[in-house]
Copies of this chain bind each other. A is one copy, B any other.
Amino acid sequence: MAWDHGFEVAFHPRAVAVVGASGRSEARFHGGAFIRNLKNQGFSGRIYPVNPQASEVSGLKAYPSLAALPEPVDLVIISVPAPGVPQVLEECVAVGDKNIHIFTAGFSETGEPEGIELERRIKEIAQRGKLRVLGPNCMGLHVPAAQFSTFYPEATKPGPVAFIAQSGGHCIQFTRYAHGFGIGFSKVVSYGNAALTDSTDLLEYFATDEETRIITTYIEGVKDGSKLLRQIKDINRSKPVIVWKGGLTASGSRAASSHTGSLTGSEVVWQAFFKQTGAVSVASLDDLADATMTFLYLRPPRGRRVAVILGGGGHSVTTADFCSREGMEMPVLTDASRKALRAFVPVAGTSIKNPLEFEAAQRDLGVLRRMLEIVAADPMVDLLMVNPHLDMLKETGPDEIAKTGDFLCRFARENPQKPLVAVLETWGGDPAVSRAREQLRVELAQAGSVVYRTMPRAFRALSKFIGYHEFLTASQNASQSTEGSAQIS
């Protein structure tokens, strides 16, 4: 059975079984821990521990087998040792429980004959019994809206982003980190060895999932590369697909083989993949968070020509370097704009070329407004970037950061044709400044604008975001011209 919408109930389960649950294990993740996590999150469904050696686990009545449960369940979580997994799957087939998450590791990823044979057996049983299986060797599901998670009990918010990852660790890291970027999740799925459910199965689901608007994924290997390419090429037109491909170096590839038994493919092949699909390529957790935040909140600019307003001449030099290195453009403003700027920007200690360097713009909102109005009207500019100096604003007065945030939100709302981003650096490490930045990030997001933490990160994310929209436009043009020639012939 193809992995299909039959799994839908597992994302919003009314009843789950945890096979192999005990309260005793030392390990960080085990059956009993899953039960505790579910309870701590406030999961309101029914939880059935299955353990023939116990009558109670974590305060819940335990059952000797799946057959002994009072009802069929929407998801079976298996955490018995690897050799016992085939038997549990046979029970699932017998009682008709179709949705399975195998947490247990120790299969093909070990490279050992026993593990490979065990994985072959669970595949055979699942295919015969038409089971939908995640794993083995994976963390399973995290669905914030359902208060359901087999991960840590996290404070992740619901939202329109799906994350699909072979690695459970990446799921935990990204969901934790994402919180500070305003990223909420529809569903998070860790699928481990991908013995039965592969990324292509999950993508098929998320392509039409109404709760998901952006798809993010961490991939080590794929079974059917050309299928993945066709699929992402198609999905990416309507839902951006952001891909972190792991194992592209020799040592990374070796580690991927130990981790999920994956064949990772070469860097050249994956470069071609990104070129053909238009999927967004990221290579670190910072990249992933910055890019996802940008797709969530920023209005797409018409192009990649950015006007930057900042203070400090050296900062303007290195900012221009960062901009060029990430493939963004920093145009010289029109003569009219420069003339208008020179009316109030003194010659000494400033620059009105671009970046616009004028220290007063970092502390005087009247000055910043005049400069922003000029660059927003400049036809050479697609996108505005500002760089208020948070440390200095805090030292200037208690409300200065908040006033700056209010102004930027208002400006962003009043000038939707030229998207505005802010780079808010906090070199001093003052926690109060970091909190203020977080507050501004939240407010600006509501105004269709984003806050980045450093200049290089800002340009990198913007370049990926704009590159995605350029790809869409180029694809549409290409398909229109094909249609045109078809009509002519």
Interface residues of A (CB under 8 A from B): 27-28, 81-82, 104-106, 109-110, 112, 115, 137, 165-170, 173, 176-177, 179-180, 218, 220, 244, 246-252, 254-256, 258-260, 283-286, 311-325, 329-330, 332, 347-349, 351, 353-355, 357, 359-360, 363, 391-392, 425, 427-429, 431, 434, 454, 456
Question: Known interface pairs A168-B314, A355-B255, A391-B176. Does A431 touch B429 (Cβ–Cβ under 8 Å)?
Answer: no
Residues of B near A27 (CB, < 8 A) are 359-360
Q: How far is the CB of A70 from chain B (nearest CB, A)?
A: 32
- Interface contact A173-B324, CB-CB below 8 Å: no
Complex Cα spacing A136 to B115, Å: 71
A110 near B314 with CB under 8 A, answer no
The complex places the Cα of A353 from the Cα of B254 at a distance, in Å, of 9
In the complex, the answer to whether A314 meets B106 with C-beta atoms within 8 Å is: no
With CB as the reference atom, state the residue of chain B lying closest to A434. B431
- Please, which residues of chain B bring their CB within 8 A of the CB of A315? 167, 169-170, 173
Minimum-distance CB pairs A-B, first 4: A167-B314, A106-B348, A169-B312, A259-B313
Check A353 against B258 for contact (C-beta < 8 Å): yes
Can you list 16 A-B pairs, Cβ within 8 angstroms, ordered by A?
A81-B348, A165-B314, A170-B314, A173-B427, A176-B427, A244-B318, A249-B320, A251-B320, A252-B321, A252-B324, A258-B357, A259-B351, A284-B454, A286-B454, A431-B431, A431-B434
When all copies of this chain in the complex are counted, the total is 2
Question: Judging by beta carbons under 8 Å apart, are A284 and B456 in contact?
Answer: yes
Take A249-B321, A348-B82 as given contacts and tell me if A109 and B258 are in contact as well, using a CB distance cutoff of 8 Å: no
Q: Write the nearest CB–CB distance from A83 to chain B, whole angstroms.
A: 10
The answer to whether A347 touches B115 (Cβ under 8 A) is yes
> In the complex, which of the residues A180, A258, A285 has the most CB atoms of chain B within 10 Å of its own CB atom?
A258
Q: Does B105 contact A260, Cβ atoms closer than 8 Å?
A: no
- Name A312's closest neighbour in chain B (CB-CB): B169
Is A323 within 8 A of B251, CB to CB?
Answer: yes
Select A259's contact among B357, B363, B434, B454, beta carbons within 8 Å.
Answer: B357
A314–B429 contact, CB under 8 A? no
